Structures are given as C-alpha cells and as structure tokens.
A and B are shown apart, each in its own frame.
Chain A
Amino acid sequence: MDRRQFLSLSAKPQPAVKATTTGSRTDSGISAYTGTFDTAQAVHLLKRTMFGATPEDIAWVKSVGMDAAVEALLTTVTAVTTQPVNTYGEDEHGILPGESWVNSPPPSSDDEDAKRWNSYKAWWIGVMINQSRSIQEKMVLFWHNHFVTEMDMTHDSRYIYKYNTTLRANATGNFKALTKAITLDPAMLRYLNGYLNSKAGADENYARELHELFTVGKGPDSHYTEEDVRATARVLTGFRINANTITTYFESTEHDITNKEFSDFYSNKKITGKTGQDGATELDDLLTIIFAQPECAKFIVRKLYRWFVYYLIDDAVEANVITPLATIFRNNNYELLPVLRALFKSEHFYDPLNMSALIKSPIDHNVGLVREFGVKFPTAYMDAYDAWDRLRSHAASMLQDIGEPPQVAGWQPYYQEPQYHEMWINTDTLPKRNQFTDAMVSEGGFGGVAIDVLAFAKKLSNPSDPVQLVTDSVAVLYRIDVSDKFKAWLKNTILLSGQNPDSDYYWTDAWNAWAAYPTDTALRTVVESRLRTLYKYLMNLSEYQLS
C-alpha cells in the first residue's frame, strides 16, 4: 500500500501493515558481552527485565556492573506479602471490606465471583509497581501469557489467585516443575476441563494445549500426532478439585489404567498404566517423554527471546541464539536461570542492531511509566486499588487485560505472524497511550495519581543545567538515540521557551529560584509547567513506544 492511500484511510482500528524498511540482520550470538557497559546498556537491561528503568536502578546497575546486576536481577525473589482484598463491598461470605478473600468459601455464583475480578487485577498491578530489583514480575507475566487462564472462564477468583502464586513460586525455577504444577493447578484444571477428564471419555482439551502451546509448540519441527494428544488425555484422567481447600486430588476410579503409546516424535515411548494412587505418577512419566524432545527447549527459548529481545527470529538468530540457549536449557534439566543468565550477558542482547526494537506492551507502557517517574500511590487501600484499577483498565482498553488474555494461546502480539508486537499499536490504541501519558503528566493526573515532574527532575544528575536535564531525561525515557540537534531543540524550545539558545542561565535561574523557595507557587509553576511540556512531548513521540 502506498503512502497516499494511507492518508485517505479512515481512523478506525484496522490491521496495520508491515513497515517496508528492513532492519539489518545481525550474526551476534551468546558469547559473553565484553563491550562498553554504560547508561545505555544499563537502561536496556532494566527496561527488558523489569517494568521501566528508574534513575535509582540505573545508577545501581552502573555501579555494580553487568555480571552482578544480571545475577541480582535473576536471583532476587521477594515474597509478596499482600493479598487481594474486598474492594466491592457486600460479600456473600462476610469478608469485610479491606480483608483478603483468597481463603473464603467458594462463590455461590458467577456473579458473586465476578465482583472480585477487578480486585485481583488491581492487586496484581500493585505488585508489579512495587516490584523489587528482580526479573520476577516480568517472568510472572510471561508465564501468564504462556500458561494462560482466563478469569471469565474459570469463575473462581480464589483459584486464579492461587494460580498466580504458582506462577510466582516457579517463575525463574525449573520449567518442567512449573509445567507439572500448572497441569495440576485448580485454575488450569477448571479452565481447560482437566477436572472433567475421565476414563469413560477422555477430554483432550488440556492434552492438546500441553503439546501445542505449553511445551513442544507447533513449529515446523514439531510433529506430535493426534494419537499423542489422545494418549496424553488418557494419562491425565482422574484429577479433581476440592473447591473448599482449593487443592487438587487424584480420583483413581476415574483414571484410565490402560497403557499409553506415543509416536516416533516422542521416540515411540510407552507409559504403562498404573492403578490406585500410583496413577497420578503417570504425569511424571508423560513429562519425561515430552521434555526429552529437543523441540521443547527450543520452543520455550524462542518464546523467551520474543518476550525479552525481539519478535523476529531469522536463520542467524535461530542458529546463533536459539539453538545454543536451548542446549543450555536441556543440559541444565530445564532450569531457567542458566538460560536467562546466558541471554542477558550475551553479545546478542547488547548488540546495537538488536536493541531498542521492542514495542512496549500496554502493561509495560503503563506500569513502566509510573515506576520510571516514581509516581506515588495512595496508602489508603481503596484509593490505591482505584488507581491501580484505572491503570489496569486503561491497559485493557489498549488490548492487554491481565487475568483475561483473549484466548488460550495468549496475547496475539507474542505469536501472530508477521506483525507480532506491532499489533499493540494501531489507530485506536496509540492515541490511548498518548491520552494516558498526557493525563499522567498533567496536574489532574490519571486515576488519582500523577507524575511529579519536579521530583523526577531532582533525581537527575544536574537539573539546573537545561542541557544536562534534557540529556538525562532522554537517557531514562528513550532507548532509541535522538540527535544532539534534537536535544538542543528541546532545550531551547521548551526549557528556554524559545529564548536565545545561549541563554541557558534563564532555566538555571528559574530552577534555582524555585529550589530556594520550594513553596512559592509562582516559582514552582515556572519550572513545573516547562517540565510537564518536556515530558509530555517526549512521551508523545513515537520513540517512547520502543523499549
């Protein structure tokens, strides 16, 4: 389509088209990165492994260096001490407002359960915002997109909360152990009908997804068969949920005790049917067979690559990155840390040709913004939940509703060829991103919270110097380079309000005047309004959408 046609298109959402420019291909692989490790690399590492890069975190990464920073980011696991609470008022089981509902008796109806959805989602947003210096939260969201459940199909928020803790407990642990835990997770059993799977008539729903979406995938080298799906379904017969304790148990009388045979894709392996409670251990046999297939490691590594690096996997990336990382994955019995460690210390990860190309997901965009600017949230739980919920629902309107991926395959931008991440951005969602950033940086804020531009600027190295202020701000907010000319223009046009370019002292005087009398409204407004304009402008540019 030529550009002329574009101009005449209506503004309603439409499938966008691939840009015609082609990025350079890179042959860099997973050899240890030994090049410069400065602000750009530190921000890159932080923006990819966490939600946004705060000035404090950037300083920390630079002070400890790449190896120590990667190690800390990967191995820090902070226990979440909060639980979602009653924000909806009357509760059929007498849970009081402000109290946790995660251990309440089962909901009597879908409507009763639905009251809790926004509470759960808001709580999760709060956990993301309050993340420690760790990859934990990015990985939990990764697994939510991988082992999908949907609240409006599971109809029990307690299950969903427990599922979240299961993802959290295994987020950077062993992938095989996580797969087992998820297979037996009440929310997943409910979501993909595992709790109905019986010897009388096996339900293949979970069995199919276990192969197609959760382990070996459906890439060109994945050749599991329909027989494999049916055999898997029979292996998984008999698991049931105790709704009161929110636990899974094995009902041996519902288990298919016949032998299960697998195709040559799985080396013609056979599981001997077991009786009694032993039947439950057939799951271990099944996972051993599946995880012996090399495609399993490759499939997960590709997915991690698309999550943390870029969606395009060409032959060079497959050969130089995916294959060696998959080998590490298998050699370490599907432990995740060795893979992530290799990736985040690799030449490929810090290759300038690969950096800055990730389009922020709506959650990354919204949560990253409030973290980078250090937005303060209220302490009163209703106000905090309200702010988190607004942030969450706006991300949902931009196509990413946590707790409700559109389908079992997860969000389309992570798998849909050829557009992938570009699907986040269309003529409906891009203006919504702008509305969100515009509101956040304005006095009224968004959902009761707002960016304090002065507090943010104060964290930068020398905010009284307008040149340095622009440079520092761009270094935090952008990952794509902008020219010195452009930075000078920002400084002159916004911070100096178009005064002579050599009169930087006007900004310095204004900043210092306010700093000397921080309670003076007029002095504050002079610097605050210009900073608001600067940050609003920076966040409105296309560059801001890239991480």
Chain B
Amino acid sequence: MKRRDFLKNTVSAAILPTFMNGFAVKAFGSSSLLSALESASADNDHVLVMIQLVGGNDGLNMVVPIDLYAKYQAIRPNIAIPQGKLLPLVNNVKTGIHPAMTGIQQLYEEGKVCIIQSVGYPSPNYSHFRATDIWVSGSDANQIVETGWGGRYLDTQYPGYPDGYPNYDNPDPLAIQIGSIVSPAFQGANTNTGIAISSATDFYNLLDDVVDPVPNTHAGVELAYVRLIAKQTNKFSDSIKKAAQNVTSQSEYPDTQLGRQLKIVARLVAGGLKTRMYMVSMGFFDTHASQTQGGDNTTGYHAELLKELSEGIKAFMDDLTKLKASRRVVGMTFSEFGRRIKSNSSMGTDHGAAAPMIVFGDYVQQGVLGTSPDIPDSGSVADNTPMQYDFRSVYASLLEQWFCVDNTTLQSILFKDYQRLPIVSGIACGTITGIDDVNNGSKGLITNYPNPFVDTTTLKYKTRGGHTMIQIFDTMGRLVGVPVNNVMAGGEYTAVFDSKKLAAGIYYARLQNGVFQEVRSMLKVKV
C-alpha cells in the first residue's frame, strides 16, 4: 500500500480522555516543502464557530411567530410562550424570541445576529443518529457520505493534510473540537482534520501541566509512561499552549457547559491561533416531555437550555470584543432537526423537521431571513414545519461570504450549487445582497388554483430568470415532486401539480429562484 493510500484510509484524530493525551494528533513524517508551498490558504483569518444543539432543538419555541400567534398558541397550548413575554426584535414585528434569550436579543439589536427560518432538507430523517450524520456530512437524505462538510472545505485549503503538518506557515490545528470525540463534520478525505480538546478541566490541566493520576501498581507505572509519550507526540500542544498564554485575562462567562467551552474558544482565537473552524456542543435538547414548567411556560427545561445558549453566546461575543478579536468570528447554531409543530400531552414535543438557525458575529447581517413557518389551523401530531432554506444553502453562504470560497470550489465541497443567502456582510468577501431585498423579493411569487383541490392544481409562479425550481413537500417534509427545475427566462409561468397518487392533506409548494424563495401551502381534499 502506498503511503498516500495509507493516509487516505486513516481515520485520524486520536482522542484521549485527559488533555495530556487529549489531542488527536499523530506524529507524521517531516514537513514537505511542496505542501507548504501549496498552502496559500490563509486568505483571511476568519473563524467559524459551530454550536451543536444535540437532541433536536424546538425551534418554534425559540423563534416564535408573532404574526401567527393565535395559530401558534392554538396548536401547542400547553407549552406556548405567552405573547407578552416574547422578546421583540428591533425593526421586526413578525418575530419574537424566547424570553430566556435576552443575550441574543441584545446582540440582534447591535446588528450582530441573523436568524434563518425553517432550515431543513427534503425528506428529512427523524432519527437523531442519521439526521446528525446528514447535517455534519452535508449529504442528501438518501445518500451516505463519509466525509464532513468542514473536512471537505479544509481539504481544499490545506491539501495533503496531515502529511507535512504542522509546518512553518500552518503551525496550528485546522479545526478544533471542544469535546473528546472530533465531530465527523471535520472528516476529510484523508483524515479527520480536527483535533480534540477533551474538556475545560483538561484544557486548564494542560496549561498547568497536571497529569491524571494512575493506580499505584506496575500497570500504573506503565500507563503513566505511555501517556507521557502520547503527550510528547501531540504536535499541536505547544502552539495551543502558546496561544492560550497570550491571553492573560478574560471576561466573565456563565459557569455552564457551553460557557466553559466558548471561553476556551475565545482564548484560542484571541491568542492568535489560526484554526479556522471550532465545534462546541451542548446536549439535552431532546425535549419529549416537560420542556416547559406547568404554570409558567417561560420556565422549564427548554428555557434553561436557551438561557445557557444565549448567555454563552453573549459572553463569548463580549469577551471577543474586549479582546479585539470579535471581527474574526462568525458563529452558528445547528441541531439535527426541529420538533413537531403540535405539542404532545406530556408538555413536550417529538422529533420534527425544519427549524431556525442563529448566526452571529460582527459581520453578520441583522435580520430574520424567511417568513414565519406555516402553521396549520387544525393540526395533527404529524405536522411538520416545511423547509424554506436548505441547510446546505447556509453552509454555502458561510463558505462563500465568510471564507471567500469561489463557486467552483463550493460545488466540489457541497456537491451541488446551493442557493446562496445574504448572511454575512459583503464587506467580508465582497459579495452584496441585503436580507430585506431578499425577503421583499420573496413575496407573491407563487400561488395555486383551485385551492383546496381534489386531484390536480395549477401552480402559477413568477421567476426573475435563471435557475427556477418548485419542490412539493408533504407535512412530513418528504419531497413528493419537483414539477419545475429549469433555467428559464424571466416571466410568469404555470405548472400543473398532479396529486392523484397522494393522500388528502396539506402540501407545500416551495419556489426557489436565485436568492429568493417562497413556500405556498395547498390543501388537497377528498371528493
């Protein structure tokens, strides 16, 4: 086997329970001049911080549709947040956010938050495991992809990694996971491009040179020895230590799982580490029951989680601002799925589909992208939020507007040409479109008649020209048809949606044209 093949087959990134052993880094051969020359990757020093909300975040209680409040209240009466308690967003009358998220509200006011409504993908999977794999790999629902979207991006920027890394130009890890298991999001073709910092405790242990105790036996002696060698093979430990030591004081953080993780990220970013992507995570979003506390729906399990999320992000941004490093950072939240529109009787919500994402940072465009999600009048437990934006559109937009990735490279990373959304200010990479332009342009693009309908209905739609697509989803988010998928001249067109083989119920027609999109709800009835 050639060395190249060997590396290709190596799923690298050892992760060890103590920080001493905590880096996933293997000692590879000497640095190669070629790969050093090739790595003209540091076009900018931008950093993306991903916050994974494990378990499936109830997006509908995090970002609440004020414009559809009565419907919202009716469909989940036992957990609905009272309208008066919702935190308003400046210059936005349609949307409120959970009362625990004052930090996000303030950041929004400062112009540093973009909320993207109803992010999902066609035919969503309702299994935590599979859905997570889809989100981190960036695959289609019916496609198995072994690499991660972050790993594929880093592969394009740091060819040949890990062979020859670290080197003079690239002394630092490409991606860092705060947590012991490096996310598959960083899996590249050769190897996982991420390394792990196993926990906050272990991070500070590294700085303090603390070693975990071993048993007082012969085995303990040998274990200590092997750990010592493992520590010496951590090629990045010096650069991480050095960066951490450049920061001598940080602002206050909440003493939470997320707060502790983000504090480390801020220290490394501000300390000058050139790492491009960070992943942190918090768990317990799988709120099947008791997500609100009886008597006061602004409190409870989910409120605690959103408070931790909001306070963590606020403290992180404040700290970065004080450390003069905030302009280098964009952050985003994601979860494997949202939850069902209708609540269950145990004051919780079951696995759902599309949900909002929060993107934050100094260069992020303030606004709420998309409309409030469609909420049925007399909903069933099977009803799901239809997607407005594909999650890979968000990835594509961040890669293009924050990491300045060109279109050809983008398509090699994400396999397709996904719609780009105005998330990051054009100043960062020289791309310009405003959220208001997009939202205003995304109105009145598609209607259907008759509605309700029995078998067929005619879709009437407008396109500004270029690529135009209409996807039909059922309430489970399943893609049941693509009646239009063409490059066409601007104008008004019609298409027929034939539903003879489909059950009666609500269907969504999603029109996408360039940056614009609109979701139209349609009702199929029995004769």
The answer to whether A and B come from one shared complex is yes
* B217 touches A (CB below 8 Å): yes
* A310 touches B (CB below 8 Å): yes
Interface 9-mer from B152-160, B226-234, B306-314, B432-440: B226-234
Q: Which of B5, B216, B226 contacts A21 (CB 8 A)?
A: B216
Interface 9-mer from B102-110, B129-137, B396-404: B129-137
State whether A540 and B226 are in contact (beta carbons under 8 Å apart), knowing that A23-B221, A510-B129, A526-B130 are contacts in the complex. no
Q: Mark B111-131, 1 if CB is under 8 A from A, else 0.
A: 000000000000000011110
B residues less than 8 Å from A444 (CB atoms): 5, 8-9
Cβ B127 vs Cβ A526 within 8 A: yes
* B482 touches A (CB below 8 Å): no
Cβ B27 vs Cβ A431 within 8 A: yes
Cβ A443 vs Cβ B130 within 8 A: no
Interface residues of A in 418-434 (CB under 8 A from B): 421-422, 425-428, 430-431, 434
State whether A497 and B128 are in contact (beta carbons under 8 Å apart), knowing that A24-B216, A430-B233 are contacts in the complex. yes
B residues less than 8 Å from A23 (CB atoms): 216-221
Interface residues of B in 16-41 (CB under 8 A from A): 16-17, 21, 24, 26-28
Cβ B225 vs Cβ A19 within 8 A: yes
A residues less than 8 Å from B283 (CB atoms): 498-500
Interface residues of B in 193-251 (CB under 8 A from A): 209, 211, 214-233, 235, 237-238, 241
Distance from A331 Cβ to chain B, minimum over Cβ atoms (Å): 29
State whether A19 and B9 are in contact (beta carbons under 8 Å apart), knowing that A499-B128, A529-B184 are contacts in the complex. no
The residue in chain A whose Cβ has the minimal distance to the Cβ of B210 is A3
* A235 touches B (CB below 8 Å): no
B residues less than 8 Å from A522 (CB atoms): 130, 142, 144
Q: Which of A11, A19, A359, A521 contacts B232 (CB 8 A)?
A: A11
Distance from A534 Cβ to chain B, minimum over Cβ atoms (Å): 9
Number of contacting residues on A, CB 8 A? Answer: 76
Q: Mark A393-432, 1 if CB is under 8 A from B, else 0.
A: 0000000000000000000000000000110011110110
Cβ B226 vs Cβ A430 within 8 A: yes
A residues less than 8 Å from B16 (CB atoms): 540-542
* B319 touches A (CB below 8 Å): no
Total contacts A to B, CB within 8 angstroms? Answer: 189
A residues less than 8 Å from B221 (CB atoms): 19, 21-23, 357
* A114 touches B (CB below 8 Å): no
Cβ A506 vs Cβ B223 within 8 A: no
* B341 touches A (CB below 8 Å): no
Cβ A447 vs Cβ B1 within 8 A: yes
Q: Mark A7-27, 1 if CB is under 8 A from B, else 0.
A: 111010000111101111000
Q: How far is the CA of A104 from the CA of B133 in the complex (A)?
A: 57
Distance from A407 Cβ to chain B, minimum over Cβ atoms (Å): 24
Interface 9-mer from A187-195, A258-266, A348-356: A348-356
Distance from B409 Cβ to chain A, minimum over Cβ atoms (Å): 25
* B168 touches A (CB below 8 Å): no
Distance from A145 Cβ to chain B, minimum over Cβ atoms (Å): 20
Query: Which of B17, B28, B218 has the most chain A CB atoms inside 10 A of its CB?
Result: B218
The residue in chain A whose Cβ has the minimal distance to the Cβ of B227 is A542
Distance from A59 Cβ to chain B, minimum over Cβ atoms (Å): 25
Q: How far is the CA of A4 from the CA of B211 in the complex (A)?
A: 12
Cβ B235 vs Cβ A357 within 8 A: no
B residues less than 8 Å from A510 (CB atoms): 127, 129
Q: How far is the CA of A537 from the CA of B142 in the complex (A)?
A: 28
Cβ B129 vs Cβ A506 within 8 A: yes
Distance from A133 Cβ to chain B, minimum over Cβ atoms (Å): 26
Cβ B26 vs Cβ A435 within 8 A: yes
Q: Mark A505-539, 1 if CB is under 8 A from B, else 0.
A: 01001100000000001100110011011001100
Query: Which of B144, B221, B226 has the most chain A CB atoms inside 10 A of its CB?
Result: B226
* A162 touches B (CB below 8 Å): no
A residues less than 8 Å from B238 (CB atoms): 7-8
Q: How far is the CA of A447 from the CA of B129 in the complex (A)?
A: 30
Interface residues of A in 329-383 (CB under 8 A from B): 352-359
Cβ A7 vs Cβ B209 within 8 A: yes
* B463 touches A (CB below 8 Å): no
Cβ A11 vs Cβ B235 within 8 A: yes
* B100 touches A (CB below 8 Å): no
Cβ A19 vs Cβ B224 within 8 A: yes
B residues less than 8 Å from A486 (CB atoms): 17
Q: How far is the CA of A532 from the CA of B226 in the complex (A)?
A: 23
B residues less than 8 Å from A446 (CB atoms): 1, 6, 9
Q: Which of B1, B14, B233 contacts A438 (CB 8 A)?
A: B14
* B345 touches A (CB below 8 Å): no
Cβ B223 vs Cβ A543 within 8 A: yes
B residues less than 8 Å from A480 (CB atoms): 215, 219, 223
State whether A352 and B217 are in contact (beta carbons under 8 Å apart), knowing that A498-B281, A500-B55, A510-B129 are contacts in the complex. yes
Interface residues of B in 170-184 (CB under 8 A from A): 179-181, 184
B residues less than 8 Å from A540 (CB atoms): 14-16, 24
Cβ A445 vs Cβ B211 within 8 A: no
The residue in chain B whose Cβ has the minimal distance to the Cβ of A527 is B129
Q: How far is the CA of A498 from the CA of B482 in the complex (A)?
A: 36
Q: How far is the CA of A479 from the CA of B219 in the complex (A)?
A: 9
Distance from A394 Cβ to chain B, minimum over Cβ atoms (Å): 9
Q: How far is the CA of A390 from the CA of B6 in the complex (A)?
A: 11
Cβ B133 vs Cβ A529 within 8 A: yes
* B323 touches A (CB below 8 Å): no
The residue in chain A whose Cβ has the minimal distance to the Cβ of B211 is A3
* A312 touches B (CB below 8 Å): yes
* A289 touches B (CB below 8 Å): no
The residue in chain B whose Cβ has the minimal distance to the Cβ of A545 is B226
Q: How far is the CA of A310 from the CA of B15 in the complex (A)?
A: 28
State whether A430 and B15 are in contact (beta carbons under 8 Å apart), knowing that A525-B133, A530-B129, A546-B219 are contacts in the complex. no
Cβ A353 vs Cβ B209 within 8 A: no
Distance from A26 Cβ to chain B, minimum over Cβ atoms (Å): 9
Cβ B133 vs Cβ A355 within 8 A: no
Q: How far is the CA of A18 from the CA of B27 in the complex (A)?
A: 21
State whether A356 and B127 are in contact (beta carbons under 8 Å apart), knowing that A493-B181, A542-B21 are contacts in the complex. no
Cβ B232 vs Cβ A497 within 8 A: no
B residues less than 8 Å from A427 (CB atoms): 27, 229, 232-233
Q: Which of A353, A497, A500, A545 contacts B284 (CB 8 A)?
A: A500
Q: Which of A4, A525, A532 contacts B11 (CB 8 A)?
A: A532
Cβ A6 vs Cβ B228 within 8 A: yes
* A439 touches B (CB below 8 Å): yes
B residues less than 8 Å from A439 (CB atoms): 6, 9-11
Q: Which of B12, B129, B215, B219 contacts A497 (CB 8 A)?
A: B129
* B54 touches A (CB below 8 Å): yes
Q: How far is the CA of A6 from the CA of B27 in the complex (A)?
A: 16
Cβ B219 vs Cβ A499 within 8 A: no
* A494 touches B (CB below 8 Å): yes
Q: Which of A390, A448, A541 contacts B21 (CB 8 A)?
A: A541
A residues less than 8 Å from B1 (CB atoms): 390, 446-448
* A272 touches B (CB below 8 Å): no
A residues less than 8 Å from B241 (CB atoms): 7
State whether A546 and B226 are in contact (beta carbons under 8 Å apart), knowing that A356-B219, A540-B16, A541-B21 are contacts in the complex. yes
B residues less than 8 Å from A69 (CB atoms): none
A residues less than 8 Å from B55 (CB atoms): 498-500
A-B CB proximity, top 6 nearest: A444-B9, A540-B14, A357-B218, A23-B218, A356-B219, A542-B226
18 A-B residue contacts at CB 8 Å?
A: A6-B232, A19-B221, A354-B217, A359-B222, A425-B226, A427-B27, A431-B27, A444-B5, A480-B215, A497-B129, A497-B132, A498-B52, A499-B54, A499-B55, A500-B284, A506-B129, A536-B11, A545-B222
- With A7-B231, A357-B221 already in contact, 16 other A-B pairs whose C-beta atoms are closer than 8 Å: A8-B238, A21-B221, A21-B224, A23-B219, A24-B217, A438-B11, A442-B9, A447-B1, A497-B129, A498-B281, A521-B144, A522-B130, A522-B144, A536-B14, A542-B223, A543-B223
Instruction: Give B residues with C-beta under 8 Å from A.
Output: 1, 5-6, 8-12, 14-17, 21, 24, 26-28, 52, 54-55, 127-130, 132-133, 142, 144, 146, 179-181, 184, 209, 211, 214-233, 235, 237-238, 241, 281, 283-284, 286
